[in-house]
Amino acid sequence: MIESMVSDNSLPVGSKGHLASGWWGMIALVFTEGALFAYLFFSYFYLALHSISQWPPGGAPHLSIAIPGTLILVAASVVVWWGERGIQRGKPRQLIIGLSTAILLGLTFLGMQGMEWHNEPFKLSSGVYSSLYFTITGTHILHVIVGLLMMAVLLLWTTLGYFSAGRHAAISIGVIYWHFVTVVWLVVFFVIYIAPRLG
């Protein structure tokens, strides 16, 4: 009987990158959620084009909170990417810093969105525009919350030492989702805050 010994270092660490089944699952999720936002944007523009009164009622929303919020969300995406680069090079501390900073930035973004909602002169039931405004931004807020929960779990796993340069597929998958959240917000920002100013 022949016995073979295999060292722990030679054991497979699971698929990573584009080979990970979770990676393809996240891509499918991104396309599905992207379609949801596409329907919302279509509804917004369709109703805007058929509106017989001023659209948006009372003019475009103020940019005083939206611009800093956009910059904060983009910064969160940058630091998450930086953290991912760290774990790819075997630097878990860099990943911990990146995830922690991104979570703080994401929470700041949520707080700013809450302030903006509170400052708006209309409510959800005020009219067609207000219902679309709160539905689109609210749907995005839900996606931000999911992304923050995802990053919190990844941060916990990182502190527990689950990831290394050879095993970090979950990080890359989570980063895809957060980048999606950022890109969607850039489209929301253009549609709701910039497009009305372009006529």
CATH of the domain at 171: 1.20.120.80
Average pLDDT over residues 40-61: 89
Per-residue pLDDT band for 13 (boundaries 50, 70, 90) equals very low
Domain that holds residue 74: 68-199
φ/ψ bin of 6: left (φ > 0), alpha (ψ from -120 to 50), beta (otherwise): beta
User: Is residue 72 in a domain?
Assistant: yes
- Greater confidence (79 vs 7) lies with 79
User: Is residue 169 in a domain?
Assistant: yes
User: Is residue 146 in a domain?
Assistant: yes
Number of domains present in the structure of the chain = 1
Name the least confident of 2-11, 49-58, 77-86, 143-152. 2-11
CA dist list (Å): 143 to 29, 79, 86, 108:
12, 18, 25, 15
Does residue 173 contact residue 186 with C-beta atoms inside 8 Å? no
User: Is residue 8 in a domain?
Assistant: no
Cα–Cα distance, 15 to 88 (Å, whole number): 14
For 36-49, write each residue's pLDDT tens digit.
999 999 999 999 99
Which residues lie closer than 8 Å to 122 by C-beta, 6 or more apart? 57, 58, 129, 130, 133
pLDDT at 14 over 60: no
User: Is residue 56 in a domain?
Assistant: no
Does residue 171 contact residue 62 with C-beta atoms inside 8 Å? no
pLDDT of residue 45: 93
User: Is residue 29 in a domain?
Assistant: no
pLDDT of residue 10: 46
Cα–Cα distance, 17 to 73 (Å, whole number): 24
Angle between helices 128-159 and 66-88 (to 10 degrees): 30
Average pLDDT over residues 3-13: 46
User: Is residue 61 in a domain?
Assistant: no
Per-residue pLDDT band for 1 (boundaries 50, 70, 90) equals very low
